Amino acid sequence: MSYFYQAVNQLIHQIHQADPQVSRCRQALDFPPHFSLPDWLAVQTLFPKFYWQDREDREEVVALGACMTFSDPAPAYQAISASQRIWGGRSFDGGTAKNPYCKEAFFFLPQIELIREGDAWFLCANLTARDETIQALQQLQSDIPVLPPIETEVLCVDHAPSRAQWCQLVEQALSAMTQQQFDKVVLARQSTFELTQSIQAAQLLKESRRCNDQSFHFLLAIDQRHSFVGSTPERLYQRHGEALVTEALAGTIGRSEDARQDQALSDWLIHDEKNMTENQYVVDDIVERLTPLARSVEVGAETQLVKLRRVQHLKRHITAELNPTINGVQLLGALQPTAAVAGLPRQAAKTFIERYEPFPRGWYAGSIGYISHQRAEFCVAIRSALVMDKQVKLFAGAGIVSGSVAEHEWLELNRKMSTLLSLITEISPEEVVS
């Protein structure tokens, strides 16, 4: 890829010529239509590695290397210039007594970003540490083999909780609701798959990007030991200046290959009282949290159906006009975690999860995205996996409200988990995850 080396050299020349106050340089470049950013990501040796594609496919980004790292987005926001972005996210329970080894948050100002905006490509460099950034540019790999398809088999699976434990856990939650401890709690399962052959996180990302549309696609690898990867349909929030867009995504049913049956499932979902109540809890929670931060908050009148490859969801659009002093860091703190991944009231639900869920969530159900001075966007890190050589941990959750049935919710976990599981094995979720 001589054109890539040429772009790297042109960008290095820009850096050498840039005035001291310049914090960022970028160089346009041309890629062939078949160029695959996950393929390019897989061969790069710089860490951290970060991949992002927004749900509308307007922007696709790989961020590599770190000029600076942060365990809190607030000082990161203060450290960057108007032209820079920090990438990363907040975990669900990192830094707690239950999960002390997972970071509470991780954000970084990358040395290098390769960005696709529509059909235009840009190679970008942050100049906080110029010599180190030039060295990082010189380490970029341009010999890019196509990632092979995933070829592995499942040796064994371990579920936390097991099916029997899940039923007990749901009953505990329903009992707590009758005692008015909370109105909703989102319970999750971690399924650990031991494989015959190792897979790369970039392989799973590439396959999921091909198969799962209407999703944010992400990958976060702080080091080479493990990668967190996912394809989530859920936006936490998007901010442009004082305009904010968010949503309540809650209420789920499966899909059918038969068009008539699939429509019947849709009709049932949109008229089901339990699922509509679950969605309304999320709407109310988001509105309550945004109201102190905004001049106005509006909820879309129509409940929409989001039809994904394996499941369909109820969604309500929510918009807000923010107060002028509100930034992306404050929004992240206010909205994460939503009632869609924790429950309502938030703290009571989180306390129940911390006490009774038999595994630490880590990055699952956290938030992944970016913050700049004028823009910010985060997705909710569901439909996700932790990839470690021959082991893959998949995660899925289900909202438990009054009237929930444990066996029905277990099957919902299977359907949600199949978003990524079906890319690893041809065995159906009902055969493997039951």
Residue of 49, 184, 206, 393 marked catalytic: 184
Separation between Cα atoms, residue 387 and residue 198, nearest integer Å: 9
184 as an active site residue: the answer is yes
390 as an active site residue: the answer is no
* 412 in a labelled binding site: yes
* 151 in a labelled binding site: no
Residue of 234, 247, 377, 409 marked catalytic: 234
Rounding to the nearest 10 degrees, give the CA dihedral for residues 309, 57, 337, 289: -120
Catalytic residues: 184, 234
Binding-site sequence positions for Mg(2+):
278, 412
